[in-house]
Amino acid sequence: MPSLSDTIARLTASRGMGRASTQASRLSEMTSFGSNPGALKAHVYLPDILPAKAPLVVVLHGCTQTAADYDHGSGWSQLADRHGFALLYPEQQRANNPNLCFNWFAPGDIRRDSGEALSIAQMVATMIEVHALDRRRVFVTGLSAGGAMAAVMLATYPGIFAGGAIIAGLPFGCASNVPEALERMRGQGLPREAALQSAVRDASRHAGPWPTLSVWHGTQDRTVVPANGEAILSQWRGVHGLEAEPTQTTAIAGHTRRIWCDATGVARIEAFAIAGMGHGTPVDAGDGIGAPGAFMLNAGISSTRHIAAFWQLAGRVPAVAPDRLTAEAVTTAAMPRHSGRPLPDGAKPAKPAPSGPAKIIEDALRAAGLMR
């Protein structure tokens, strides 16, 4: 019997969606960066004027995307030109995953000093050395499977990163095979709070300080349901020792932003609930950074600009005029419809919805970007 991955690959080809991207790239390939056990490619972008000891941002694309696709849609290289930081784009290969997803659920790829995680760490070390970058200002972000892989990097190499941003992703250590990955994407069987936090603490010998975190999720995401965003928040709030309730909740461009500050008042975690948005990276078609496209969704807010501001790589994003906010938008954005908070220890999980092979394949196709 063919595997689920083989089935998805054949369906991809039959739909004519397995073709290589034709998106023009602003990136250059880095061909030498270590043993590369995960067999990934590496692409970089350096602005014409790169200050001494510049920061580094690592960007991880989603399924069916290339590094060039994600850079074009998100606009990270445009922002790098404005603010003077370097970019590293690890890129998945079809030999590793036929749908170009980072293998965020495969045990051999998500352990420290192993597989894809080690390949990305080697890329980071090479970038810092070759371009004399500031090792204290290294950040990682990603979408969907790339977001889940960003969570892997933050957990397995927390000493490398000052901060991270996870967009429509999943918590570290929540799945170890394809069936579990598909269940977690639907919000089924997510680990409890204590297990989520232990997964991060046990992933390395790091004892702190921990990276700051920005979490983004569409309230209408049916591919990776918002329960996963809440699980990520629970995982990292515990590691940072923060309270469950946010320090501050505000509305920005009709979307809800929650902030958790430490005892000194420094923001350690933020979370954006993007009202009415499905699965993708939020972009603002009117602000000149990035461009709408497949899984790059015009939500009237640029996640790239806000994430860079949260990491203090760019100036604060100007406030949106009040007339662009509507009561309906603010109400919708208040909380995701899937509350999905991880269950307290001792609580019984809700009975999962029935599923079968057809349902599994359908969800896999949606995750791979082949169905809506």
Q: How far apart are alpha carbons 318 and 213 in whole angstroms? A: 21
Task: Report residue 38's pLDDT band, with 50, 70 and 90 as the boundaries.
Answer: very high
Q: Which helix (H) or strand (E) holds 89?
A: strand 86-91
| Residue whose pair of structure tokens reads 């932003």 in the numeric block | 257
**Which backbone phi and psi does 217 adopt, to 5 degrees?**
-155, 140
| Nearest Cα residue to 218 out of 320, 338, 311 | 338
The answer to whether 297 touches 283, Cβ cutoff 8 Å, is: yes
Q: Per-domain residue ranges for the chain? A: 21-343
Residues annotated as part of the active site? 144
Position 88: which residue type? L
| Residue whose pair of structure tokens reads 């958790």 in the numeric block | 260
Over range 9-28, report the average pLDDT: 55
255-261/267-274 β-pairing: antiparallel
DSSP type of residue 113: T
Position 272: which residue type? F
List all residues 6 or more positions away from 343 whose beta carbon is below 8 Å from its beta carbon.
Answer: 190, 192, 193, 349
Task: Report residue 317's pLDDT band, with 50, 70 and 90 as the boundaries.
Answer: confident
Structure tokens at 191: 């680990």
Over range 55-68, report the average pLDDT: 98
Q: Which helix (H) or strand (E) holds 239?
A: helix 227-240
pLDDT, mean over the chain: 85
**pLDDT digits 0-9 by tens, 281-316:** 999 999 889 999 999 999 999 999 999 999 999 987
Q: How far apart are alpha carbons 233 and 270 in whole angstroms? A: 9
pLDDT of residue 235: 98
pLDDT of residue 1: 36
Q: Among the listed ranges 101-105, 117-121, 314-318, 367-371, which one has the minimum average pLDDT value? A: 367-371
309 Ramachandran zone, left/alpha/beta (phi>0; psi -120 to 50): alpha
56-60/138-143 β-pairing: parallel
CATH class of 21-343: alpha beta
Question: In 3-state terms, what secondary structure has residue 297?
Answer: strand
CA separation (Å) from 82 to 31, 142, 298, 316, 348?
27, 21, 22, 14, 50
The answer to whether 26 touches 71, Cβ cutoff 8 Å, is: yes
CA separation (Å) from 96 to 91, 99, 104, 279?
11, 9, 12, 23
**pLDDT digits 0-9 by tens, 348-358:** 434 334 444 34
Say whether the peptide bond before residue 344 is cis (omega within 30 degrees of 0): no
